[in-house]
Amino acid sequence: MRKCKLPADGYSFVRSFCLTPLATALLVAMSPSAFADESKKVKELDSMSVIANPEDPQSSTGSAYVLTERELEKFSSSNANDVLRSVPGVYTREEVGQGVFPRISIRAAASGRSDRISVLEDGIPAAMAPYANTSAYYFPNMGRMSSVEVLKGPEILMHGPHTTSGVVNLISTPIPEKAGGKLNAEYGSFGALKLHAHYGATEGQWGFLVETYQAQGDGFHEIDRSDRSAGHDVEEYMGKLRWTSDADAAYAQELELKLLYGVEVANVSYLGLTDEDFKRDPNRRYGLSELEQMDRGRKSASLRHVFGFTDNTQLTTTAYWSDTYRYYDRINQINGVNLGGVTSIVNNGLANAGLIQGVLDGTADTTHANHVRYQHGDQEYISQGLQTQVDHWFTTGVLEHELMVGVRWHEDTTKNQVKGRASSVYRQINGRLVYDRTTLGAPQQGESEAWSGWIADRISVGKWTLLPILRYEDIESKANIASNATPAQRAARATNSLTSTTAGLGVNYALTEQWTLLAGVHEGFAPPGNGASEGTEGEESLNYEGGVRFRSGSFGVDAIGFLTDYQNAVRTCLVANPCPGGIVEGSQQDGEKEVYGVELGLFADLYQGRGYTVPVRLAYTYTDGEYTRGSDTGAVLKGDVIDYTPKNIGQLQIGLEADRGWSAYAALNYSDESYTSPIAGRSGVDDRFLKTDDLFTVNLVATYPLTEQADVYARLDNVFDEQAITHRGADGARGNAPRTAAVGVRLSF
C-alpha cells in the first residue's frame, strides 16, 4: 500500500468563488496537460505528516522543520514552549512558567494564545474551535507526542484555517509494527511526577495501541497566606485500532480509529505581580488569587480511511470530533478595578495605589461593593468535521507531478455559562477571602460552519520543483443564538459570512545534490471568530520567503529571509491578552503592519571519533517591523511597534554522545526584551511597564544506559536560576520557572 502526504485541509472547486489576480495567474499556469499519463514513480510518505523529508534539501518548497522522537527524548520536556524554542521563526513565552497556556507565535503573527497558527494533531485540526474561537486555550499534550513538525511558507495553504504564519503538527505515538511498548517515569522539583506509558502490537491485518500520560506537581509559586498549591494534575488516555487489507486484495486499504480522553486541573492565576514585588520575589502569588483554578478536559475521536485505487492514486478520508470543556474560576475585579488595570495603578503611583497594594498584600480590607470578584469561565466547545484528499502521481512529458486535491467540511459549536453561574464575590477581611454572593448568567451559544478546499501540484522538471497552490474558505458564523438568550443578547446577536480565495507558489532550484535555493509567495488568511458582525473580514497578508538549504550527512543549514505584509491585521481580545484600550472581548482590526526577519537553522557534528560525537543544533531568528497604517478606531497608529516580538531569539544545543550509549546535552536559550503593547514605542509614552526583560538560561541533561532496554537520566533546567519578566498579562508581571531538577527512567519492552 502506498502512503502519501496528508495535508489537513486544502482546495476543491466545490463552490463558486472569485479569484484574486495571483490566483488566476497560478490557475492558468496549470494547463490541461497536467492531467495526462500516469507515472509509476510513487513516493513513500506518512499520511499523518505535513512535511515530506526535511533532511532532503529538495523535498519541501518552504521552510520545514521536524523534531524527531530522538530530539524530543534528549530533554524529555513536556513543556511545549521549551520544545518549540529549538525551531527558527517560532516565538514562545511563558505565562505561568510551566507551559500550561502555550503562547506560540510564528514569524511575529498576533501575540495572543497561539491564535494565529494552525495547530494540528496527526494532520487534523486540534484547536478547541479553530473557526469559532481562534484562541487555543487547549493545546495537545506535548509529553505524549512522538515528533513535532513546523511548516512555514506557501505549503501552509494546504492546512489551516490560519495561513498567515505557520503550522504546528504534533504526531502522536504510532501503532508499532512489532509487539512492544515504552515507559517513562520522572520525579522532579516541587513535587513533580510524570508517567508516560504505551503498549501496542500488529498481528496480521490488525494493530492496536493503548497509552496513558499522567503528571502532577505543586508548582513553584507560593501563595500568600495559603496552604493551597499552585500546581497541576493531568490524566490522559489514548487508544488506537488499525485494520489493513490483505496483501492480495484488489485495492489496498487501511482504517484507523483513534480515541482520546483527558482531564487537567491547574491552579493557575491571571494575576501577576507589581514590578517591585516581582523584583523581590518572582515566585510569589497574592493571597486573594488562591481560589483561581482551571479545570479543563477533552474527549475526541477520529476515523481515518486510506484507499489505494492504484499505485499512483490514493484517497485519504478522515472524520473527526472533539468535545472540549473549560471551567475557569478567575479574578476579574479587585476592589472595583477590572483585571488589566490593578498592578498598573501601583506601578505608576496612581490614585489609591496605597490601598490597592494593601489589598494585594492582604494588609487592607476591600472597600468596594464588588470586593474581589471571581468570574466563572464555564465554556464548552464541540468541533467536528470530515476531510478528504486524493493524491495522484503522474507525468506529462518531462514533467513529474504530485497532484493533491481535497475538501473539508468543519463545524464549531461554542457554549458559555453552561451551568448558569456568572461570577462570585468575596470580601477580603484580615487577609482572608470570605464568600459574599453569586450572580447568575444566561447561557450563550455560537456556531461556525466552514467549507474549505485546495488544489496543489508539486511539479518537478530537471533541477526545478514548483508548487502552485489554491485555497478556498467559505465561512458562516453566528453568536448569541441560545434559545434562552436574554433580550440584550438577542439584540447583540452577530452573524457573519465571508469567503476567501488565496494562492501561493513555492519554488526550489537544486544547485547541487546538497544545495537548494528556495523561494515562495502566498496570500495568508485567518478567520475573525464567531463574534464578528456582518461584513467583518478575516486577517489577510501577503507572505514572502527566500533562502538556501544545505544537507550533507550529519551537517545541515537553513538560512531563510521572510517578509509578511499584513493588509488587515486582526487581534483577538482576551482578558489574558487585552486589545489596546483594555478591550477583552471579540476581535479588533489593527490596520496594516510589516514584519521581516531572518531565520537560521543548523545541525552538525563538530567532532566524531575515538568513541565520541559532539553534535550541535542552532536555531536563531532576527525579527523587526512596525505598523504601516493605523486602525480605524485609532487604538493602533502608523509607526507603532509589533508587540511581544523580540528582535533576537535563539537556542544553541551542544552535546557529547558516547558510542557506549551515554550522552549529555546543554541548551543555551536567549530572548531579547520586547514591547508588550503597540503604543510602547510612541513618543512621550512611559514604557517602563510595557516591556518584558531579556533572558538567558541554560538547561543540562545527561542519560546513562542501564541495559539495552533501560536508561536513566537527570535534568537541570535554568542552571543559573535566572528569572525575568516574560509576560505582562492579564494583569502584572509574570516570569519563567526557577532552577528545577528532575530524574527519570525510560524502559522499552
What pLDDT does residue 103 have?
87
Element (H, E) at 701: strand 695-705
**Vertex 326: Cα angle to 323 and 327 (nearest 5):** 140
| Least confident segment among 67-71, 244-248, 486-490 | 486-490
Q: Give pLDDT, residue 550.
A: 94
CATH code of the domain occupying 180-748: 2.40.170.20
Q: Where are the alpha helices (DSSP H) in 21-65?
A: 21-29
Q: What is the pLDDT of residue 515?
A: 94
| pLDDT at residue number 445 | 85
**Span 322-337, mean pLDDT?**
95
Contacts of residue 286, defined as CB under 8 A and 6 or more positions apart, other chains included, come to 223, 224, 271, 273, 360, 361, 362
Q: What pLDDT is recorded for position 169? A: 95
What does pLDDT average to over the chain? 88
Within 10 A of 196 (CB to CB), how many other CB atoms are there?
A: 23
Between 32 and 264, the more confident residue is 264
pLDDT given at position 579: 66
pLDDT at 665: 98
Q: Which residues contact 56 (CB under 8 A, 6 or more apart)?
A: 551
The answer on pLDDT for 525 being more than 80 is yes
pLDDT of residue 704: 98
Which pLDDT belongs to residue 34? 31
Over residues 464-474, the mean pLDDT reads: 97
For 349-359, the pLDDT digits (tens) are 999 999 999 99
* Coil vs helix vs strand at 743: strand
pLDDT single digits (tens) 640-668: 999 999 999 999 999 999 999 999 999 99
All three cell numbers of 388, joined, read 478528504
Residues 424-454 as b or e (16 or more Cβ within 10 Å = b): bbbbbeebebeeeeeeebebbbbbbbbbbbb
Partner residues linked to 526 by β-bridges: 539
Of 250 and 427, which is predicted with more confidence?
A: 427
pLDDT at 574: 65
pLDDT, residue 265, reads 96
pLDDT tens-digit profile of 203-227? 999 999 999 999 999 999 999 999 9
pLDDT-derived band at 96, boundaries 50, 70, 90: confident
pLDDT tens digit sequence for 696-711: 999 999 999 999 999 9
pLDDT bracket for residue 36 (50, 70, 90): very low
C-alpha cell at 239: 487508544
Q: What's this model's pTM, rounded to 2 decimal places? A: 0.90
Share of residues in the chain with pLDDT > 70 (%) = 88
Dist. CA 190–CA 188, nearest whole Å:
7
pLDDT one-digit tens code per residue, 362-409 = 999 999 999 999 999 888 999 999 999 999 999 999 999 999 999 999
Lowest mean pLDDT of 79-83, 147-151, 249-253, 419-423, name the range.
Answer: 419-423
pLDDT number for residue 534: 78
CATH class of the domain whose range is 38-172: mainly beta
The full set of domain ranges for the chain reads 38-172, 180-748
Task: Report the sign of the C-alpha dihedral through residues 602, 607, 609, 615, in that order.
Answer: negative
- Model confidence at 52: pLDDT above 80: no
Does the pLDDT of residue 334 top 80, yes or no? yes
Residue range 310-337: mean pLDDT, rounded: 95
- Mean pLDDT value of segment 142-168: 94
Q: Which of 175-179, 413-417, 439-443, 574-578 has the highest mean pLDDT?
A: 175-179
Topology match between the domains 38-172 and 180-748? no
Query: Residue 741: which pLDDT band, with cuts at 50, 70 and 90?
Result: very high
Better pLDDT: 27 or 522:
522
Please name the residues in contact with 674: beta carbons below 8 A apart, sequence gap of 6 or more. 643, 644, 645, 646, 647, 691, 692
The identity of residue 246, as a single letter, is D
